[in-house]
Chains A and B, each alone.
Chain A
Amino acid sequence: QVQLVESGGGLVKPGESLRLSCAASGFTFRDYYMTWIRQAPGEGLEWVSFISTSGNDKIYADSVKGRFTISRDNDKKSLYLQMNSLTADDTAVYYCGRAIATGTWSSWGQGTLVTVSS
């Protein structure tokens, strides 16, 4: 069955960097668009970034543009999110998701918590 497992979260200080990973299994990873979303504690969902099957097309939310970079390695069946210049506003659970159609994410990982605090 489809499985997505995020990792790489943790506690970092403002201004520091972190790289999240999402390991995929149970489907042909290279055939699917992928996305990252996040949820701050007690808050709603926020879309973060999206990447095409080839990795050539990427879109970012304004709140992370210029600081976050999404990438993928189809041979390793993995999705990544490089997060730089982190601030307290980036504190959230980050989920990776698989798209089955435009804007339709049918599968999610369990999430990984990123905490930015001094």
Chain B
Amino acid sequence: QSALTQPRSVSGSPGQSVTISCTGTSTDVGAYKYVTWYQQHPGKAPKLMIYDVDKRPSGVPDRFSGSKSGNTASLTISGLQGEDEADYYCCSHAGSLGYVFGTGTKVTVL
């Protein structure tokens, strides 16, 4: 089980959009619709932001959106705000192997 590949960091100014990629394989990201995204602030537990590739739980702002193409999933944050500065992790179902997280991306609001 190799971790899904994410960029180490992305940054943007308030109001801008940033996109985080999450690249897996045909046995995880490419095989299932079960891709989730979590936000984690320092010292805190993860928070669910996106599930089933592109669904938003209640309470998550609609500036967060998800998509997938082939073996790569993406999280886009539109209208970046200061409180969005955090680490973001993708996670995919991997069949009988269970689940696999991404390497994590630090989002910096300039």
Contacts and interface: CB of A to CB of B under 8 A. Distances in A.
Interface stretch (A16-24, A71-79, A84-92, A105-113): A105-113
B-side interface size class: 20 to 34
Closest 3 CB pairs of A and B: A108-B45, A44-B104, A103-B34
Interface of A is mostly: strand
Given A45-B38, A59-B96, A103 B3 contact: no
A61 interface: yes
B101 A44 contact: yes
Nearest to B96: A59
Contact of A103 (B1, B89, B93): B93
B98 A50 contact: yes
A50 B45 CA distance: 18
B98 A60 contact: yes
A105 B3 contact: no
